[in-house]
Structure 1
Amino acid sequence: MTSARITLDRDFTVGDVPHRLFGSFVEHMGRCVYTGIFEPGHPTANESGFRTDVLDLVRELGPTVVRYPGGNFVSGYNWEDGVGPVDQRPRRLDGAWHTLETNQFGLHEFMDWSRLANVEVMQAINLGTRGVDAARELVEYANHPGGTYLSDLRRKNGAEEPFDIRLWCLGNELDGPWQIGHKTPTEYGRLAKEAAKAMRYVDPTIELVAVGSSNSGMPTFGEWEHTVLSHVYDEVDYISLHAYYQEHDGDAASFLASALDMDHFIESVIATADAVRARGRHKKHINLSFDEWNVWYQRGKETEDQEHRVKESGWREHPRLIEDEYTMTDAVVVGTFLNSLLRHGDRVHIANQAQLVNVIAPIRTEENGPAWRQAIFWPFARMAALAKGRILRASVTSDRVETTQYSDADIVDVSATWDEENSRVALFLANRSLDDAATVEVALHGFRGDRIVRAEILEAPDGADRHVSNTAADERVVLRPLPGVSITDGGLTLTLPALSWAVVEVTVAKA
């Protein structure tokens, strides 16, 4: 048995919970769009071709903002291909994923879908093969009320009212040699600055995200952020971060501690952005958009073989790509990533789990078949629903676990929020130990615990190992009641089973 003590104080908070922290991502990649969110002819499809079984799961998952249409896809995409009469839209080769894009689903369809899903749109523009002109024209098409060629074209295409898209990404991963239109930081910084200016000439109310490093292991990491922000600081509101993690060679301890790397990545980008702010004597702070993150098994030869098979099969519509099947272990890790993002919510104002359906996703589907929740669905869904109000600064004293890839990590990982309006404190906890349960004592300062509203645990079901996952036929990894949570004079006590994720919500009164 291991142990941890967590102290939460009403007067020590990080900031408000950002509404956009629980975002997702829809890219024209694999089966995310086609047979994912959009499948005309499916038994559940509505008149627009949207799968309503998927819409139900998306609403249950609870993302607040969805990034679209890429991703690598956007760096070779002409936005005009996805508007206008569907039967007149061109079929294009997508070099990013070696697929045939039909453009049966485009901007208007995504806007209609987003309203049904109750999500804000985060629109990415192509700064790979295109530039300033296409960027400003897309803003005019989407956001100008009318009376100009492009805004009237939108109205002719069926959208009388502006789409009013507030949030825009200035390209995608242009630091990466794999990206169509790859650029040096100076090339990108200059282009992003001019695109941002032109877009804001059309609509000065929009918010803009500059491209940051594709991951913290990039050889240009740090230099890229510093150079890009030196160009665009006054024109943008956010800089992006992308990170994916996986278990290597059975090293589960390091994998379960990989949120330490996410912490370091976030804090390094904050430091770099603030250094540019100081040097340029800027008044505002640049905040962070962690607009791609997840567990992704990039399995070396296995992944290369899949990519080879896709290319060998020719140009096909929506082939299966990176449809990872997530395990109980992955779900705990995703819970710790969400904790990391929430703990840094004073500067990480946007975050998007990649992707929403089928492609490394919490939701899976089969063509003309069912949709189901993957194991990683649950930590996201509960945190998106319950993390409200203020982020509490948690002081943690925990037994430690040794790792080979990172430093020693707390066995119990935690984040917490205080919803003052509804007098509730929510705790989100992970036990990283593969073998030992953990007793947890929570001290509440300035609060008095009143009633346990919710106590749920995500753990491997009886008889299953840590690799258990959900399938279309059997969702085995689900939240269950967590017994034994008690309110004490000073707070709470509970026990976390080995390799588990839990949520505890309690009503409180001010002490």
Structure 2
Amino acid sequence: MDQQSTVRKASVGLNTQRTLGEISPLLFGGFAEHMGRCIYEGIYDPASPLADSRGFRPDVMAALKETNYRIMRYPGGNFVSGYRWTDGIGPREKRPRRRALAWRSIESNQFGPHEFMEFAQELGTEPMWAVNLGTGSIQDAADLVEYMNLPTGTLYSDLRAANGHPDPYNVKYWCLGNEMDGPWQIGQMGALEYAEKAVQAAKLMRWMDPSIKTIACGSSATSMPGYPDWDRVVLDHSYAQIDYFSMHHYAANPYPTISNTERLPVDTDSYLASSVHFEEHADTLAAAIRLAKAKNRSKHDVHLCWDEWNVWYRAKGGDGGWSEAPHILEEEYNLEDALVVATWLNTFLRKADVVKIACIAQIVNVIAPIMTRSDGMFKQTIFYPLTLFSNHASGHSLDLLVKSPSYHSARYGEVPQLDVSSSFDPESGKGAHFLVNRSQTESLSVTLNWEDVAPDGLTQAWQMSGADPMAGNSFDHPDAVTAHEIPLPRLDGRSMTLTVPPLSFTTLISHHMPA
């Protein structure tokens, strides 16, 4: 910590009975797309000397398990709007090679539905499949549900058995296309056109398997000209046939303009305040859901599925040059990116009543928490907040009373210096508290006050911080910016005070005797 920095004061009031909503474990999900080196040379790398007999890397798998992903979206993304799922089944030597138009690359189809399900089962994560509503038909979508989920006795379920898996996979979560409002999307549609196709696809898919949950596409970004009218139209027309509504956003420093041509200056103060935008996005779509529910006279609840989120602004070139596993979109993350990711996860907890699924995009190499080469890997800065939240946030999100000094940001005006969320699990008695000091220069003395029952004590604490917001990790310096354990602050009755340095993310674990 800079010894010259000012120490300001903040307080957080906690009451384990005052809650915002139940935290869905599916908030801690990932996204694996056939894009760049996410699948090939990432998840699946049989040419690596470190790979096992299936082509999986034990070191990569161990890092993914450490993050504890609860759900995994697949196979895209933009890729899915041109994907023929039948290309990826059967003997590998007979699978076709195709041009993947979304990323101008060659798809070998050596990794397909069965390989992904084996990967998901090894990882212990819930699979979430996206169906092709770009070039694909509603019948194609229903056939895939039959292939994945139905017992043998019909064409596609028998084909699954012939390909080595007699038992159904029972995939529960299904995305109805991807970013269908985007001009970059294969098969782009207007809102009403998409809603009608999504409704018919969902209907046919549910007739195949009534137990599935479906996710409709929202606007691709808040900067889209149609936002939020697209969302309103799709929700109005599809409400009865969907369970979740998708939202996407990528944070950037500098913040991109709508034209994406004007170059703005780097603005770390505004960037670290990005959760103001995240919350507005969630609030807008939550309001659109409430409106659609009322207009449809429905008793049915639809929740938000933030199935693409991350920092992404440096490695923007998506042209694979018609090669296999091109090195594209390999973002290098730094400390400020990790702090923004932490505030994003704080937002998920604060919006736990409406946001029930979230998938960081993506998991390996492509805008990802881990990077690989054939002989090794390293964890990027964003790995650490994601892993701490996933492993420790559970139960209920607490409605906190936060008093914090503020600072001025050019984009969002006055913003609290302290960004914070807390969870409490009444079954285990575990509390988790996540604190981000957004200031670049000022330390913060934070007092946590338990208003109902004090915890028995603190059990663990971690922190990541640094003087340089642009510092990051690399193959040569894999541990330059990590989360490390810190001494446990002292609990004094119902209160605890600790000083958090500038540019820091701190996680505290408390324990109550279970009721």
The alignment's TM-score, normalised by the length of structure 2, stands at: 0.95
**Number of the residue aligned with 2:4:** none
**Number of the residue aligned with 1:507:** 511
- Please give the secondary structure, in 2, of the residue aligned with 1:402: strand
TM-superposed CA distance for 1:482, in Å, is: 2.7
1:443–1:492 Cα contact (<8 Å) kept: yes
**Number of the residue aligned with 2:341:** 334
Amino acid at match of 1:329: E
2:331 counterpart (312, 316, 324): 324
1:11 counterpart (1, 5, 17): 17
- The yes-or-no answer on 1:265 pairing with 2:285 is no
Superposed CA offset, 1:95-124 (max 9, x none): 100000000000000000111111110000
- Please give the secondary structure, in 2, of the residue aligned with 1:161: coil
TM-superposed CA distance for 1:435, in Å, is: 0.5
Distance 2:426 2:481 in 1: 32
Superposed CA offset, 1:115-144 (max 9, x none): 111111000000011121100000000000
Change (3 A) 1:276 1:45: same
**Number of the residue aligned with 1:470:** 473
Distance 1:432 1:483 in 2: 22
Change (3 A) 1:307 1:392: closer
Structure 1 unaligned spans of 5+: none
Superposed CA offset, 1:426-451 (max 9, x none): 10110000001100011111121322
1:66 counterpart (68, 72, 79): 72
- The yes-or-no answer on 1:255 pairing with 2:271 is yes
Distance 1:192 1:259 in 2: 31
Distance 1:101 1:337 in 2: 33
**Number of the residue aligned with 2:242:** 236
- The yes-or-no answer on 1:77 pairing with 2:80 is no
2:428–2:514 Cα contact (<8 Å) kept: no
**Number of the residue aligned with 1:403:** 409
**Number of the residue aligned with 1:491:** 495
1:450–1:508 Cα contact (<8 Å) kept: yes
Superposed CA offset, 1:429-488 (max 9, x none): 10000001100011111121322101111112xxx6221111123221111233462212
**Number of the residue aligned with 2:292:** 276
**Number of the residue aligned with 1:202:** 208
Give the 5 Å matches for 1:42-121. 42-121=48-127
Superposed CA offset, 1:237-266 (max 9, x none): 010000001111220011000011000000
1:448–1:509 Cα contact (<8 Å) kept: no
**Number of the residue aligned with 1:354:** 361
2:306–2:357 Cα contact (<8 Å) kept: yes
Change (3 A) 1:102 1:381: same
Change (3 A) 1:330 1:46: same
Distance 2:475 2:166 in 1: 40
The alignment's TM-score, normalised by the length of structure 1, stands at: 0.95
**Number of the residue aligned with 1:30:** 36
Q: Give me the CA root mean square deviation.
A: 1.3
Distance 1:421 1:307 in 2: 46
- The yes-or-no answer on 1:123 pairing with 2:129 is yes
Amino acid at match of 1:473: D
Superposed CA offset, 1:250-287 (max 9, x none): 20011000011000000000001111111221112210
Distance 2:282 2:162 in 1: 44
Distance 1:509 1:41 in 2: 50
Distance 1:160 1:408 in 2: 59
Give the 5 Å matches for 1:88-487. 88-248=94-254, 249-298=265-314, 303=316, 306-307=317-318, 310-311=320-321, 315-366=322-373, 368-460=374-466, 465-474=468-477, 475-483=479-487, 485-487=489-491
TM-superposed CA distance for 1:307, in Å, is: 4.5
**Number of the residue aligned with 2:258:** none
Distance 2:200 2:514 in 1: 51
- Please give the secondary structure, in 1, of the residue aligned with 2:422: strand
TM-superposed CA distance for 1:201, in Å, is: 0.2
TM-superposed CA distance for 1:510, in Å, is: 8.3
Amino acid at match of 1:273: I
Change (3 A) 1:365 1:479: same
2:459–2:488 Cα contact (<8 Å) kept: no
1:484–1:494 Cα contact (<8 Å) kept: no
1:447–1:510 Cα contact (<8 Å) kept: no
Structure 2 unaligned spans of 5+: 1-6, 255-264
Distance 1:324 1:8 in 2: 37
- Please give the secondary structure, in 1, of the residue aligned with 2:218: coil
Distance 1:165 1:285 in 2: 21
Distance 1:93 1:146 in 2: 32
Q: State the number of aligned residues.
A: 498
